[in-house]
Structure 1
Amino acid sequence: MRRALCPVETLYVGQRSRAVLSCTLRGRLDTGALSAAFDAVTGAHPSLRSRIGRDGEGVALHLLDEVERPRLDTRTGPVEDAHSAELNTPLSVGGPLSRAVLVSAPEGDRHLFVLSVDHTVVDGHSGIALHNELWDRYRALVEGGPGQQRPRTTGDPEWPVPVSRLLPPGDEAATAAYLERRAEEARRHPVELVPYDVTDPSGGEARIEVCSLNLDEERTGRLRRAARAVGVSVHALVAAALLTTARRHLPGDEPRTLGCLSPIDLRSRLSPPVPALVMVPAVTTHLQTLRVAPDTDPVELARTVHARVGEFVKGDGPYQEMRITPEIPSNPTLQLATVIATNMGTVPGPRLPEGLQAVDVRLVPAREHYFPAAGRSPVMACVVSFEGRLAIEFPYFTACFSPGFVRAFRDGTGAALAAFTDRTPEPSPAPTG
């Protein structure tokens, strides 16, 4: 049993990228119930218990048999090191497209759960929804409520339809003209990339690491209110902070052309909307180039970013970008940016049974191919607000950027966001009585 990949999904196969969701836990955890919950979600979503293989001239998802399907991997060890270990453990080529690992401290009261899913079958929104569904099933099993039955995994699975086949009707000539215009814009406005600071990529074992910027609820709330006060989204503020920080890592005082790539959720823009729990990559992208100098006003930069993204999503740009995605391998400048600013918005964390507490929830993108010899690349920032606390994750490869460089980039971004809130007066409380 198989399901052919559409051209857009096929692009993810070569990228070898994945969504890594993790949850640090404290308290009592029933390993057997968590294993059963993972079996239930992989039973409900055939893409998670599939592998990628050839299908004639194309590529397809091939359903794994019961012996090969992924199971929860449990072990005892240092919880603190487990996240980095999972980031640096790729999904096996030709193996399952999902992996779940639970690492518990020897004392048994601290745990780290990590769920890795290939981006060929998931995006940020569906990854978060999947993670929450797994813990919903776990809670139901522990509390003895509904949801204990394991889904049937025999017979023909219900494969999700590729999003590229759900787009509204398009005109081929209009799409060709859109592609030509986008390619011409990329030629006329080439963007500058942040140069790597590691001078000897061969020195030591290179690893994927991640540097985090975390705001508590109070600072997140202040940032949201500052965004509303100046008429922009939090995404635009974060993008402006990333761009101004990137500009400080380039020489000279003159304006430079920088690019900001923003993934755009298509699920809510289709008719009917595609639920978050449908395991397909359902994002397109918006690339904009901006002239940024060291003294560029970040609020005006945020206004420009906000206006351009808003104009883009109001038209047919998101659909056209999805239609031209297969052209990216032959023209990578269509998505070449100085910074990549994803934003999942405000999302709920997992709902857990009594006696188990989520200390930290994270979403980090990871991939297997990095190119230190290129000398420069975009800076990735994954933005998500779990339970009202904003976090920006900066994943990087140590043969390209050093830990000190990424910490400085994180701190610069944090300082820029703090400056936004400090310069924007808090609204006066509403009168009472």
Structure 2
Amino acid sequence: MRRVLCPVENIYVAQRSRAILSCALHGPVDPAVLSAAFEAVTAEQPQLRTRIVPDGDGHALEFLPEAERPRLRVRAGGEEVHGEELNTPLTVGGPLTRAVLVTDPDEERHTLFLSIDHVIADGHSAVALLNTVWDRYRELIGGVSAPLPPVAEFPEPISALLPHSDAADTAKYLERRVEKVGRHPAELVPYDVKSTEEVPGEPHRIEVRRLLLDTDQTARLRERARAEGVSVHSLISAAVLLAARRRLDGPDPRLLGCLSPVDLRSRLSPPVSAAVMIAAVTMHLQVLPVGEETDVLELAREVGDGLRDFLDRGDHFQEIRIMPSTPLHPTLHLGTVIVTNMGPVPGPRLPEGTRVTDVRLAPARENYFPQAGRSPIMACVATFDGRLAIEFPHHTACFSRPFMRELGDEVHTSLLALAKSDGELHPAATV
């Protein structure tokens, strides 16, 4: 059985991008039961039992043979496994997810890693998958073992769920967008690493610089955003835009683009649950003049107003309709910064005696093109258990560790200045 990918899903095939979730735990974990839980969830989600195959001019999902379906792998290890998962692609023509449990039974410390191809999932459905695996685990530990029958019916792609639109209106919208980005292209931040540079004995690789706020700092940042009449997303976007601007020469304002992925699930009628594993995201690109002295709150209001107007006009639906045109018009979604924001996200519920110590969500892809000389800076934002985290994925052949460390520290300092409740800033906590 096959399910042909829609034009939007075919775009993700070429990108070879994936979401990587890690869930760190303390307490007892039974690997055999967790393996059974993962297989049960795999049976409930047909996409998890498929691979991508050519189909005419596009691609399709095709069920894997039973022996090739994803299974939980259990291994020993430590923090280094996060980097290994970032740098281990999903096999071309193989399963679209990978599950690895890294365990230290003596210390009762464990980390579950899930890698999920963006063809079949966005951030919300990736988190829902993680939580569902732990729900099944909790049920099995509690003695609920009745298996559900495998599901064979694929959910409809997001492009099939959009409200009706006249094709001529969509064509005009695309024409306006192409003309606008042609007149006002966003500048990109140059790489600080030459494509020919290599560290002796240390090949280039994908890494993530992490910025983390504690629960008190996160709460105060949210309070500040409400007081100023802006969103937390706008504040973070402004802070990242200003950090990017400091890495461009000259005193004059520069045109910088903020690309904000927009979740469509809650905006469809009827809404689509996060448990439905599809990519349900569109993009909003806003190009703004940003100077060295631009005020972060003023910039946040501009970002927020632009995104609000975009949604009020219903352009988020038109934007996903034109997404298949991106290969012909790559600047349609080319921003100086890409700032995702999952908002507050529920974490896994575990059996009594086992607790979550950390949850992370970071994107990765296979190609970073250091030969291009410049690219967007990506910030992946999520708030688990009241702690806001920003993950800055990068490739060391493009942006160096010191570059990303300094940029992350600047963003962290800006956010803490907005969130401070007294006259002192807290020390940076990027890792």
TM-score (norm 2): 0.95
Equivalent residue in structure 2 for 1:318, among 313, 316, 319: 316
Distance 1:217 1:136 in 2: 25
Equivalent residue in structure 2 for 1:239, among 237, 240, 247: 237
Aligned residues of 1:229 and 1:424 also touching (Cα < 8 A): no
Distance 1:84 1:220 in 2: 26
2:128 is aligned to: 129
Distance 2:148 2:373 in 1: 49
Equivalent residue in structure 1 for 2:154, among 153, 156, 159: 159
The CA deviation string for residues 335-382 of structure 1, in whole angstroms up to 9 with x for no partner, is 000000000010111111112111110000010011001010000000
Give the CA deviation at 1:49: 1.3
1:185 and 2:184 aligned: no
2:264 is aligned to: 266
1:169 is aligned to: 164
1:227 and 2:225 aligned: yes
Aligned residues of 1:208 and 1:398 also touching (Cα < 8 A): yes
Distance 1:74 1:421 in 2: 41
Give the CA deviation at 1:398: 0.6
Give the CA deviation at 1:157: 0.6
Three-state SS of the structure 2 residue aligned to 1:345 is strand
Aligned residues of 1:261 and 1:286 also touching (Cα < 8 A): yes
2:143 is aligned to: 144
Give the CA deviation at 1:125: 0.6
Give the CA deviation at 1:202: 4.3
Distance 2:196 2:390 in 1: 26
Following superposition of structure 1 onto structure 2, how do residues 13-32 of structure 1 map, counting pairs within 5 Å?
Answer: 13-32=13-32
1:65 is aligned to: 65
Aligned partner letter, 1:23: C
Three-state SS of the structure 2 residue aligned to 1:346 is strand
Distance 2:53 2:240 in 1: 38
Following superposition of structure 1 onto structure 2, how do residues 384-403 of structure 1 map, counting pairs within 5 Å?
Answer: 384-403=382-401
The CA deviation string for residues 308-357 of structure 1, in whole angstroms up to 9 with x for no partner, is 11111122201000100000001100000000000001011111111211
Aligned partner letter, 2:364: A
Aligned residues of 1:266 and 1:284 also touching (Cα < 8 A): yes
Following superposition of structure 1 onto structure 2, how do residues 26-425 of structure 1 map, counting pairs within 5 Å?
Answer: 26-76=26-76, 78-105=77-104, 107=106, 109-145=108-144, 148-153=145-150, 157-204=152-199, 205-422=203-420
Aligned partner letter, 1:48: L
Distance 1:75 1:118 in 2: 22
Give the CA deviation at 1:149: 2.6
Percent sequence identity over aligned pairs: 58
Distance 1:309 1:388 in 2: 24
Give the CA deviation at 1:51: 0.2
Three-state SS of the structure 2 residue aligned to 1:228 is helix
Aligned residues of 2:337 and 2:378 also touching (Cα < 8 A): yes
Three-state SS of the structure 1 residue aligned to 2:66 is coil
Distance 1:58 1:421 in 2: 48
Three-state SS of the structure 1 residue aligned to 2:68 is coil
The number of equivalent residue pairs is 420
Q: 1:200 to 1:264 in 2, by over 3 A?
A: closer
Aligned partner letter, 2:258: C
Give the CA deviation at 1:244: 0.6
Aligned residues of 1:82 and 1:112 also touching (Cα < 8 A): no
Give the CA deviation at 1:55: 2.2
Give the CA deviation at 1:151: 2.8
Give the CA deviation at 1:2: 0.9
Distance 2:190 2:328 in 1: 23
1:428 is aligned to: none
Distance 2:398 2:371 in 1: 9
Give the CA deviation at 1:206: 1.0
Aligned residues of 2:220 and 2:420 also touching (Cα < 8 A): no
Distance 1:416 1:202 in 2: 32
Find runs of 4+ consecutive structure 1 residues off by over 4 angstroms.
none
Range with greater deviation from structure 2 (260-269 or 191-200): 191-200
Aligned residues of 1:43 and 1:150 also touching (Cα < 8 A): no
Aligned partner letter, 1:32: A
Aligned CA-pair RMSD: 1.4
Aligned residues of 2:28 and 2:105 also touching (Cα < 8 A): no
Q: 1:222 to 1:201 in 2, by over 3 A?
A: farther
Give the CA deviation at 1:109: 1.1
Aligned residues of 2:120 and 2:278 also touching (Cα < 8 A): yes
Give the CA deviation at 1:150: 2.6
Distance 2:331 2:245 in 1: 20
Aligned residues of 1:53 and 1:59 also touching (Cα < 8 A): yes
Aligned partner letter, 1:168: P
Aligned partner letter, 2:285: L
